[in-house]
Structure 1
Amino acid sequence: MSVNSQSETVLVGVDGCKAGWIAVILRPGETRPQVHIHERFSDLVSEAGPSAIIAVDMPIGLPDRIQGPGRGPEQAIRPFLGARQSSVFSIPARPAVEAKTYGDACALAMQCSDPAKKVSKQAFYLFGKIREIDRLLQADSGLRDRVIECHPEFAFCRLNNMAPMTTPKKIRGSVNPDGIAERVDLLASHGIDRGIFAAGPPRGAAMDDLVDASVNLVMAGRHAMGLTSRFPADPKRDRYGILIAIHG
């Protein structure tokens, strides 16, 4: 079992969703995780408690300049994902992420990247949530060892003996039942109770959000046991000392 229900640590897997954040939380002694929605990431951190390991699908650590297609973590995991590579967005440099408009973000990204590249709309829509976590980690250095960046498709790949999932979670913007079923089967084999998926996601989240938060819970458990690795293997830190790495 990859999620250790005997752990003395609160384990949390998180994904962004329409309502804010969906968290799948496993507390010590429990065998079935609880699913919660939080509007703000800071509220989620407070509820989880001061020792929780929180694995979140959101970029953490923002370099001042980008060399190549995205940050080092994005470049490091793409080769493993085959047809699922499109799930890995290229995140631009810090000045672009801190921009308030899409036009400004594109202009700043062009200035801070080599080769010069604008920002995708998909990446731009993540910037508010990226800044939420970034502000917390800037203000509280103690969180930096407990809030780790994961990428769900890479997490599934790691749990599947480094083979990417064969079916997408979504097709043309709609949830793909076959893709969800493939991932739920894998999650069940790693100790996630299928019952949390039976009733569907809570209001304000979609089924793919619930599935992604659940695989991040498995990653939190693996991280607590010292079983995750950093991608890239020699990650850098940003100007605030925040690690720029995906854990898997």
Structure 2
Amino acid sequence: MDACAGGWLAAFVPPGDGTVRLRVFRRFTDLLEAVERPGLIAIDIPIGLPERIGRGGRAAETAVRPLLGARQSSVFSTPARPAIYAEAGWVPNVDEMLAAHARASEIARATSDPPKGVSIQAFCLFPKIREVDEVLRTEPGVARRVFETHPEVTFWRLNGETPLGEPKKVRGQPFGRGLALRRKLLATAGLPAGALELRAPPGAGEDDVLDALACAVTARRLRAGEAVSYPNPPETDPFGLPMAIWM
């Protein structure tokens, strides 16, 4: 499952050779209530939020970032919980968003050592991080079947544990060679036939489809007991949520 412009893009991959389905959900809770009833979810969003952050973010991020070579900037440093919860919800306009970003950065600097603010790109993910965190903290049954992953780490594994030489995007736009490389790697991952021919549904882009399928690859490995966590064993946050990236 991957965040996208329309909310969340889920790639439903059944056991065996069943048909893969792509669906966009406006909210994370909509997925949990979907007719597909996923038994296990691998999602590209930080899970587990500490009260303070050290250099480089959580241990999960500092563990996987060196693996990715030139792609390591795709793993952003998750700030502390107080910074992520500095605002209660979406902000309605640009001026208020910039003011909210400044407040969150101030709190992030106060809860990190060395002090570090947050980028506007990371700040724009905070509502989605809160959305998942609020569910997992209050519903232990759901938390037990939701795992954090990162598509670029999955692509690194599929590439023979070698950093990828091409980015997915250049200057914010899809990059053909990078998308083609990731599609080629997914073709080796044992997904059901037809998965790579699926078109992006409204609210999602081609890069979102590839990332959602990469998450599904990790979900299959989790189901088979083959996935590994970074760090191993996972750390936990004050609410008992694991802080680890699985692949």
Q: Which TM-score applies when normalising by structure 2?
A: 0.91
The aligned counterpart of 2:188 is 189
1:89-144 CA-partner distances (Å, limit 9, x unpaired): 11100000111121221111111100001011111111000001001101101122
Which deviates more from structure 2 when the two are superposed, residues 207-216 or residues 151-160?
151-160
The aligned counterpart of 1:104 is 103
State the alpha-carbon separation in 2 of the partners of residues 159 and 55 from structure 1: 16
State the alpha-carbon separation in 1 of the partners of residues 35 and 13 from structure 2: 9
Distance 1:50 1:38, change over 3 A: closer
Q: Are 1:188 and 1:194, in contact at CA under 8 Å, matched by a contact in 2?
A: no
- The letter of the residue matching 1:221 is R
- Structure 1's consecutive aligned runs of 4 or more residues displaced over 6 angstroms after TM superposition are none
What SS does the aligned partner of 1:130 have?
A: helix
- Count of residue correspondences: 235
State the alpha-carbon separation in 2 of the partners of residues 175 and 234 from structure 1: 35
The aligned counterpart of 2:67 is 80
The aligned counterpart of 1:33 is 20
Q: Are 1:15 and 1:213, in contact at CA under 8 Å, matched by a contact in 2?
A: yes
The aligned counterpart of 2:143 is 144
1:187-212 CA-partner distances (Å, limit 9, x unpaired): 11112357344353111111111100
- The letter of the residue matching 2:56 is P
What SS does the aligned partner of 1:233 have?
A: strand
TM-superposed CA distance for 1:242, in Å, is 0.4
Q: Are 1:63 and 1:94, in contact at CA under 8 Å, matched by a contact in 2?
A: yes
1:107-186 superposed matches below 5 A = 107-186=106-185
The aligned counterpart of 1:10 is none
Distance 1:18 1:194, change over 3 A: farther
User: Which of 37, 43, 49 is matched with 2:30 structurally?
Assistant: 43
1:211 aligns with 2:198: no
State the alpha-carbon separation in 2 of the partners of residues 48 and 160 from structure 1: 34
Q: Are 2:17 and 2:192, in contact at CA under 8 Å, matched by a contact in 1?
A: no
What SS does the aligned partner of 1:164 have?
A: coil
Unaligned runs of 5+ in 2: 88-99
TM-superposed CA distance for 1:164, in Å, is 1.8
- The letter of the residue matching 1:161 is G
Unaligned runs of 5+ in 1: 1-13
Q: Are 2:174 and 2:207, in contact at CA under 8 Å, matched by a contact in 1?
A: yes
1:210-237 CA-partner distances (Å, limit 9, x unpaired): 1000000000000111111111123321
Distance 1:66 1:156, change over 3 A: same
TM-superposed CA distance for 1:177, in Å, is 1.1
TM-superposed CA distance for 1:50, in Å, is 5.7
- The letter of the residue matching 2:45 is M
Q: Are 1:89 and 1:122, in contact at CA under 8 Å, matched by a contact in 2?
A: no
1:31-63 CA-partner distances (Å, limit 9, x unpaired): 331000100101112226666110000000000
State the alpha-carbon separation in 2 of the partners of residues 193 and 174 from structure 1: 28
What SS does the aligned partner of 2:43 have?
A: strand
Distance 1:174 1:77, change over 3 A: same
Which deviates more from structure 2 when the two are superposed, residues 21-30 or residues 207-216?
21-30
